[in-house]
């Protein structure tokens, strides 16, 4: 509903600002003041933008539309948005990549080294792509690009099965699927080594709420770090193939690529709560944008399953445009973009948003002969 009134406002302030509240035995003038006496009264954010910014909004979904797109032929595992462009990477192994300004029209690009390019991230004006040299083989190779078109071959300071990369708090963080290793860089070129709590298959990786969080395959393990170098162990509710991980709306969401409905949420990356996705599938990836999480299924089993949620708790079943091994998902330019890890020409865009159009005020118990009012404008 809404935040607690006592934490929202300054009770009885002499000079009142928007959000301050008071008891009055008289009816206060509207719209300058609104009564705090109804659990159902709803107000438009557009009518009270300053007050609406202080209140947890009522989120209204718009139409969901998933559309098949044509991408340059190849397997794609990861996709990211930055600098006005989507960048997709993949391989089996190969040098194939692709870019698009809108997720609709794609242009083939060439990576500098033939790898299984598993993931790509954007930050500080640069894309960083990581992967394996072949199935289950460590490498020092990775690549950077300012535009997703021209790529430069780079070398990590150590050889690992570098699987995932993310950007947050002014730095890139990379985690390995073996060796218990992480790397940190502010520019994507110079790296500092970190150590994860154990040498397991670290897979999910994201940044939010001041911390980096990573989750593991075939495990309940998770880890949290403020800098990507020093990590603290945490645990998900159960052992599973935790692959998808995203942050948005104050919450981390993890999804499992083990066939089922398992998901989990956390506000800090340490304390996790089990959640339920709307259908049985291999939920491979999840991302956040336009006030909503979008989860997609695929991984090793073709699927049409997708799901949306404003908070990671309540999910709505959605459908992708075809049955495929849907893999990476990213948000940018007002839409979600998904790629697949099967050789072909299929990708998809999802147009979906949750609009914060209205809010409901908290209720304050009245005192005899008075009503509580909040300064609204």
Domain with 20, as residue range(s), is: 5-58+357-375
- Integer CA distances (angstroms), 113 to 2, 81, 90, 141, 198, in order: 52, 21, 12, 8, 29
Cβ neighbours for 103, distance < 8 A, ≥ 6 positions apart: 69, 86, 332, 333, 335, 337, 347, 349
Query: 12 and 159 in one domain?
Result: no
In a shared domain, residues 344 and 205 = yes
Whether residue 159 is found in the same domain as residue 240: yes
Eight-state DSSP code of residue 76: E
One domain, residues 247 and 367: no
Quick one: 271 and 339 in the same domain?
yes
- 342, 324 Cβ separation under 8 angstroms: yes
Q: What's the number of domains the chain is made of?
A: 2
Same structural domain, 135 and 110: yes
In this structure, are 340 and 367 located in the same domain? no
Could you tell me which residue, 42 or 238, shows the higher pLDDT?
238
Beta-bridged to residue 61, according to DSSP, are 354
With the C-alpha atoms ordered 108, 110, 115, 120, is the resulting torsion angle positive or negative?
A: negative
Residues 15 and 143 both lie in one domain: no
Rg (CA), the chain: 23
Q: Which residues contact 15 (CB under 8 A, 6 or more apart)?
A: none
Closest CA to 299 of 245, 220, 243, 247: 243
**pLDDT of 58 over the 90 cut:** no
> Which pair of structure tokens corresponds to residue 48?
């009270």
Convert the pLDDT of each residue in 112-123 to its tens digit: 999 999 999 999
Assess whether 327 and 312 both reside in one domain. Answer: yes
State the Cα–Cα distance between residues 150 and 129, nearest whole angstrom.
12
Q: Are 168 and 154 in contact (CB under 8 A)?
A: no
Contact 51, 374 (CB under 8 A): yes
Q: Which residue has the higher pLDDT, 141 or 45?
A: 141
Residues 125 and 172 placed together within one structural domain of the fold: yes
pLDDT at residue 358 in the model: 77
Give the mean pLDDT of 228-246.
Answer: 97
Cβ contact 81:331 at 8 Å: yes
Residue 255 has pLDDT above 60, yes or no: yes
Q: Are residues 48 and 148 in the same domain?
A: no
Q: Are residues 287 and 265 in the same domain?
A: yes
Q: Kindly tell me if the per-residue pLDDT of 13 is higher than 60.
A: no
| Average pLDDT over every residue of 220-246 | 97
What's 99's domain CATH number?
Answer: 2.130.10.10
pLDDT digit string, tens, across residues 160-188? 999 999 999 999 999 999 889 999 999 99
| Residue 222 DSSP code | E
Calpha distance 162→190 (Å, rounded): 16
């Amino acid at each position: 509903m809404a935040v607690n009134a006592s934490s929202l406002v300054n009770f009885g302030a002499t000079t009142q600002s928007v959000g301050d509240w008071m008891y009055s035995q008289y009816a206060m003038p509207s719209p300058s003041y609104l009564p705090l006496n109804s659990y159902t009264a709803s107000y438009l954010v557009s009518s009270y933008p300053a007050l609406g910014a202080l209140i947890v909004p009522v989120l209204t979904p718009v139409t969901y539309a998933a559309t098949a797109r044509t991408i340059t032929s190849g397997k794609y595992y990861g996709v990211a948005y930055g600098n006005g462009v989507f960048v997709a990477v993949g391989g089996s192994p190969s040098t194939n990549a692709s870019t698009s300004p809108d997720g609709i029209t794609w242009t083939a690009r060439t990576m500098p080294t033939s790898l299984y390019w598993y993931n790509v991230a954007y930050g500080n004006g640069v894309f960083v792509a990581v992967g394996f040299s072949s199935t289950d083989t460590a490498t020092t190779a990775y690549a950077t690009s300012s535009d997703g078109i021209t790529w430069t071959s780079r070398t990590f300071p150590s050889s690992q099965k570098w699987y995932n990369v993310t950007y947050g708090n002014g730095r890139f963080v990379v985690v390995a699927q073996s060796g218990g290793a992480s790397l940190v860089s502010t520019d994507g070129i110079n790296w500092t080594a970190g150590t994860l709590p154990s040498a397991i298959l670290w897979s999910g990786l994201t940044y939010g709420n001041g911390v980096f969080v990573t989750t593991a395959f075939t495990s309940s393990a998770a880890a949290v770090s403020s800098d990507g170098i020093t990590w603290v162990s945490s645990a998900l509710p159960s052992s599973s193939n935790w692959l998808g991980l995203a942050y948005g709306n104050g919450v981390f969401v993890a999804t499992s690529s083990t066939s089922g409905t398992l998901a989990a949420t956390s506000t800090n990356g340490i304390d996790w709560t089990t959640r339920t996705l709307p259908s049985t599938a291999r939920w491979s990836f999840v991302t956040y944008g336009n006030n909503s999480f979008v989860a997609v299924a695929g991984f090793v089993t073709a699927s049409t399953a997708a799901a949306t949620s404003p908070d990671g708790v309540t999910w709505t079943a959605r459908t992708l445009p075809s049955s495929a091994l849907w893999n990476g998902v990213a948000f940018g330019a007002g839409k979600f973009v998904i790629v697949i890890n099967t050789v072909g020409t299929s990708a998809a865009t999802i147009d979906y948003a949750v609009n914060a159009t209205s809010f409901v005020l908290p209720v304050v118990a009245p005192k005899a002969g008075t009503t509580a009012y909040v300064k609204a404008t």
